[in-house]
Amino acid sequence: MRRPKGLATRLMTAQVLVIAIGALTLVVAATLLAPRLFSDHLARIGEYSPDVRLHAEEAFVSSFALSLVFATTVSLATAGLVSWFLVGRVARPVAALADAADAVALGRYQVQVPRASFSSELLRLSDAFAHMAFRLTETDASRTALLSDLAHELRTPLATLEAYVDGMEDGVVEVVPESWGTMREQIQRLRRLAGDLREIAAAEEHALGLVLIPVDARAVAEAAVAAARPRYRAKTVDLQLDGGHPTYVLADRERLLQVLANLLDNALRHTPAHGTVRVSVDESGGRVSFRISDDGEGIATDQLDSIFRRFHRGDPARVSGDGGGSGLGLTIARAIVTEHGGDLTAASEGPGRGSAFTVSLLAQRGGDVGAGR
């Protein structure tokens, strides 16, 4: 298949064609009109002598021809230089963007994209491409980190299962209900991890399928607290819901319940027995805030944002002592809140001083207040 001509060649050919047609039009028009106009002017001044008219017309034609040749040559040269300059300014950045696109297609995302400032359209194109390359770099790094973290997370339950299976085969581990229970716990851990990974993937691809309706934020908080209360009683942790009045947000009720459930599970894992977890719902400045605070392990101040990363390590809020979490609960919660157009933040005065997580959503006015119950 024949390779098409380059952009610079096509643009230059088009410019030369336009210039040539313009020059030809000028020559034809001047040749046809100028002598006739000159003859008319001689007649108007009353000059009818054949010899005078002949010499005057010859002088006019020769001088006009020389002037026309000189002007056409200079115009063509100037137009050609300007066209060559403009074509280069357009074609070079486009060629550079094409080279960058080839590099990205081969998986080399860290490419230098030239900033084409010749026109607003080229500038937008180069900036958009640079942003796309940067996002692809982040996505690739995130994917690599996810695979590495996932391998680490899978290692422990798989090693436990392998050890129990080998031990049962060799007769070292007794085949008793406790052994089967431990193996079931590890299987549940793997199943929970797989489900959380699906949630993360859906959130990052904006495929959560949110069904946004006006819901009573207070009623959602009550439902989340009621669902979590048996687990809190089992660990003898006091779970309190502060008083308040109905207030509404535009949200997916089930997803909002999932966010609060994840935050309550996180608080339970890091609050000791006989501790207290408090849930409150407030409306202020056109926003509704869900606040889950505890008097548990607390979080180092330099970890308050990084705790929302997948499988984050090195802080109390993401490494539970009971192994009950997948390491993705806070990541999923923030992703869901972000899809709602809200914010999820953490606050703590340091290890051992408790922590608080706040979900902030835009308040809903004048909606179907019964739809969210």
Q: Identify whether residues 259 and 347 lie together within a single domain.
A: yes
Residue 231 or 74, more confident: 231
Instruction: Single out the residue in 48, 81, 108 at which a domain terminates.
Output: 108
Task: Confirm whether 58 is domain-assigned.
Answer: yes
**354, 293 in Cβ contact below 8 A?**
yes
pLDDT at residue 343, rounded to an integer: 94
CATH of residue 129: 1.10.287.130
Angle between helices 50-105 and 7-44 (to 10 degrees): 160
144-147 LR contacts (CB < 8 Å, sep 24+): 145/310, 146/310
Task: Confirm whether 284 is domain-assigned.
Answer: yes
Q: Identify whether residues 76 and 172 lie together within a single domain.
A: no
Percent of the chain with pLDDT over 90: 23
pLDDT at 143 over 60: yes
Separation between Cα atoms, residue 57 and residue 62, nearest integer Å: 9
Q: Identify whether residues 349 and 307 lie together within a single domain.
A: yes
Instruction: Single out the residue in 108, 132, 153 at which a domain terminates.
Output: 108
| Coil vs helix vs strand at 291 | strand
Q: Identify whether residues 339 and 271 lie together within a single domain.
A: yes
pLDDT at residue 346, rounded to an integer: 93
Task: Confirm whether 184 is domain-assigned.
Answer: yes
Separation between Cα atoms, residue 135 and residue 113, nearest integer Å: 14
Residue 279 or 113, more confident: 279
Cβ atoms within 10 Å, residue 118? 14
What confidence category does residue 123 fall into, taking pLDDT thresholds of 50, 70 and 90? Answer: confident
Average confidence score pLDDT of the chain: 79
Task: Confirm whether 196 is domain-assigned.
Answer: yes
| Coil vs helix vs strand at 70 | helix
| Coil vs helix vs strand at 136 | helix
Separation between Cα atoms, residue 156 and residue 175, nearest integer Å: 21
Q: Identify whether residues 224 and 313 lie together within a single domain.
A: yes
CATH of residue 289: 3.30.565.10
What confidence category does residue 281 fall into, taking pLDDT thresholds of 50, 70 and 90? Answer: very high
Tally of domains within the chain: 3
Of 2-16, 72-86, 307-321, 350-364, which has the strongest mean pLDDT? Answer: 350-364
Q: Identify whether residues 275 and 220 lie together within a single domain.
A: yes
Q: Identify whether residues 45 and 175 lie together within a single domain.
A: no
- Radius of gyration (C-alpha) of the chain in whole angstroms: 38
pLDDT at 318 over 50: no
Q: What is the pLDDT of residues 184-208, one digit of tens each?
A: 888 887 887 887 777 777 776 677 7
Task: Confirm whether 372 is domain-assigned.
Answer: no
Q: Identify whether residues 326 and 343 lie together within a single domain.
A: yes
DSSP 303: G
Locate 185 and state its tokens: 């716990």
Task: Confirm whether 343 is domain-assigned.
Answer: yes
Look up the domain containing 135 and give its range.
122-204
Burial environment of residue 199 by CB neighbours within 10 A (0 to 12, 13 to 18, 19 or more): buried
Q: Identify whether residues 167 and 137 lie together within a single domain.
A: yes
Task: Confirm whether 53 is domain-assigned.
Answer: yes
Q: What is the pLDDT of residues 17-51, one digit of tens each?
A: 777 777 777 777 767 776 667 677 666 776 667 76
Q: Identify whether residues 270 and 312 lie together within a single domain.
A: yes
Separation between Cα atoms, residue 353 and residue 298, nearest integer Å: 5
Task: Confirm whether 369 is domain-assigned.
Answer: no
Q: Identify whether residues 33 and 133 lie together within a single domain.
A: no
Separation between Cα atoms, residue 19 and residue 25, nearest integer Å: 10
What confidence category does residue 294 fall into, taking pLDDT thresholds of 50, 70 and 90? Answer: very high
**93, 61 in Cβ contact below 8 A?**
no
Instruction: Single out the residue in 52, 75, 108 at which a domain terminates.
Output: 108
What amino acid occupies position 237?
V
Nearest to 108 by CA among 133, 135, 141, 138: 133
What confidence category does residue 91 fall into, taking pLDDT thresholds of 50, 70 and 90? Answer: confident
Q: Identify whether residues 128 and 256 lie together within a single domain.
A: no
**321, 296 in Cβ contact below 8 A?**
no
